[in-house]
């Protein structure tokens, strides 16, 4: 079975500071990993994805994540936080065979990011 754990349901950073949102996964087969962002009262938007190509993945809005198999981690980072980054972030896992059978993404519980001026 696959699972995702996001460490910290709330993270607060100052504007201009480093953003680090943690995601650890469990999967018995090579995973596909995703980060989604949800702004208030909106649907989810894909930030970036790892599908077995380069381990350092760059996404939209200056975010990036690194797949570390030895640590079973896929942490999301951004060098300098903006006020507009305040949102909820979700990590999700699947693997190719399941995904091609219908898109069974397993989501983490979410991390709410606050950005202080």
Partner 1 sequence: NAGVTQTPKFQVLKTGQSMTLQCAQDMNHEYMSWYRQDPGMGLRLIHYSVGAGITDQGEVPNGYNVSRSTTEDFPLRLLSAAPSQTSVYFCASRRDSPYEQYFGPGTRLTVT
Binding residues for partner 1 (CB under 8 A): 4, 9, 32, 34, 36, 41-46, 49, 51, 90, 92, 99-105, 107-110
Closest distance to partner 1 from the beta carbon of 52 (Å): 11
Closest distance to partner 1 from the beta carbon of 90 (Å): 6
Closest to partner 1 by CB, 81 vs 93, is 93
Residues 98 and 104: beta-carbon distance below 8 Å: yes
Closest distance to partner 1 from the beta carbon of 9 (Å): 7
CA distance 11 to 31: 26
Residues 4 and 60: beta-carbon distance below 8 Å: no
> At 38, is the secondary structure helix, strand, or coil?
strand
Closest distance to partner 1 from the beta carbon of 44 (Å): 4
Closest to partner 1 by CB, 70 vs 101, is 101
Closest to partner 1 by CB, 13 vs 37, is 37
């Amino acid at each position: 079975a696959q699972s995702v754990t996001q460490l910290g349901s709330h993270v607060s950073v100052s504007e201009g500071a480093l953003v680090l949102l943690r995601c650890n996964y469990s999967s018995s087969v090579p995973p596909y990993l995703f980060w989604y962002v949800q702004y208030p009262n909106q649907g989810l938007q894909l930030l970036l994805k790892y599908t077995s190509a380069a381990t350092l993945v760059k996404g939209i809005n200056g975010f990036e994540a690194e797949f570390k198999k030895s640590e079973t981690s896929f942490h999301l980072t951004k060098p300098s936080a903006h006020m507009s980054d305040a949102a909820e972030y979700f990590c999700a896992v699947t693997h190719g065979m399941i995904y091609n059978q219908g898109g069974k993404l397993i989501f983490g519980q979410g991390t709410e990011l606050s950005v202080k001026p």
